[in-house]
Amino acid sequence: MGFGCRRDPRNARRSLSQKACDPVAGAALMFGQTLIGWRVWDIKRTIDYIATRPELDSNRIGCMGISGGGTATLFAAALEPRIHVALVSGYLNTFRDSIASITHCIDNFVPGILNWAEMSDVAGLIAPRPFFVESGEQDNIFPIQASIESFTQVREIYGVFGATDRIEQEVFPGDHSFWGRRGIPFLARHLNT
């Protein structure tokens, strides 16, 4: 929601390279909700639809995304146990070093979340299901050291579940972009088991 064919009419006339998180993210806040919540709701309803299709296997659902798609993937996988494997690209970090310290679209904000959780805590809710994270060394909005720090904390949570074999991170030589070199095979492997 807010990207691609789901942009509002004004943003649909603009270049796809320009952000389009407003006004939809602001509208969500006006209703006392968040765009992250709306996107998670969309993903959950998509899984409901998959479950109605006899030619699809609703026991083998994966979710992946880059940037805002990584945000949606992280929160959806944390809240939706029917997602069996998740690949988050260009998002896992700390709220402290990314969302709270660098200008981001308003769709990244969850009012009050820091009273309860850091990003690694949200990601830890995915455990023990398979989880892959990829982070670019030159990502200027999700700093690499904070990505590594957050991943280390999530890995510790996976350790509590005896599931450290189900979590991986790839740091790649790039910027804020999708890589997929190890992540796609990770998804395929865990969806085929």
Please give the single-letter amino acid code of residue 22: D
DSSP 97-114: TTTTTS---GGG--TTGG
pLDDT at 125 (0 to 100): 98
Q: State how far the Cα of 176 lies from the Cα of 193, in Å rounded to an integer.
A: 31
DSSP three-state, residue 91: coil
pLDDT at 2 (0 to 100): 63
Compute the residue count for the chain.
193
pLDDT at 144 (0 to 100): 98
The answer to whether the beta carbons of residues 158 and 164 sit under 8 Å apart is yes
Q: Select, from the ranges 15-24, 27-36, 103-112, 149-158, the one with the highest average predicted confidence (pLDDT).
A: 149-158
In this prediction, residues 67-89 reach a mean pLDDT of 97
Q: State how far the Cα of 77 lies from the Cα of 86, in Å rounded to an integer.
A: 7
CATH topology of domain 57-191: Rossmann fold (3.40.50)
Instruction: Tokens 């999530």: give the residue.
Output: 154
Is residue 60 very low, low, confident or very high in pLDDT (cuts 50, 70, 90)?
very high
User: Average model confidence (pLDDT) for the chain?
Assistant: 92
In this prediction, residues 151-171 reach a mean pLDDT of 98
Q: Residue 131 forms beta bridges with which residues?
A: 86, 167
User: Which residues lie closer than 8 Å to 126 by C-beta, 6 or more apart?
Assistant: 74, 77, 78, 86
pLDDT at 23 (0 to 100): 74
Domain boundaries, the chain: 57-191
pLDDT at 4 (0 to 100): 59
Q: What is the pLDDT of residues 97-141, one digit of tens each?
A: 999 998 888 888 899 999 999 999 999 999 999 999 999 999 999
